[in-house]
Amino acid sequence: SLESESGFVLVQELLSGLIVKLLTWAVIACLIYHFIAGCKHLLMDLGIGETNEGAQIGSGLVVVFSAVGILIAGVWIW
C-alpha cells in the first residue's frame, strides 16, 4: 500500500467500503457491550447490584449504555 500512490488509493477505497465499515462497526459493538457488561460484573463482585431488583436495573443500564456507545461508534465510523 505504501509502494506507490495508486496502491495507497486502492487500500483507501477498499477500507471505505460499506462491508468493511459494517464489519468494523459490528466488532466494535461487541467490544463495547462486552466492556460494559464486564464493568457490571466487577460492580457485582464488589457487592453492588446483587439483589434481584439491582440486577434488573443493572441489566437495563448495560443495554442503555451499550446502545449509546454503539451509536456513537457508528457515527465515528461513518
* DSSP codes joined into one string, 10-72: HHHHHHTSHHHHHHHHHHHHHHHHHHHHHHHHHHHHTTTT-SHHHHHHHHHHHHHHHHHHHHH
- Segments forming the whole domain that contains residue 33: 18-77
pLDDT at 3: 83
Whether 62 maps to a domain, the answer reads yes
pLDDT at 26: 98
Whether 11 maps to a domain, the answer reads no
Task: Work out how many domains the chain is built from and give that number.
Answer: 1
Whether 13 maps to a domain, the answer reads no
The pTM (predicted TM-score) of the whole model is 0.84
Residue 65 clears pLDDT 80, i.e. is over it: yes
pLDDT in tens, 41-61: 999 999 999 999 999 999 999
Whether 24 maps to a domain, the answer reads yes
Whether 43 maps to a domain, the answer reads yes
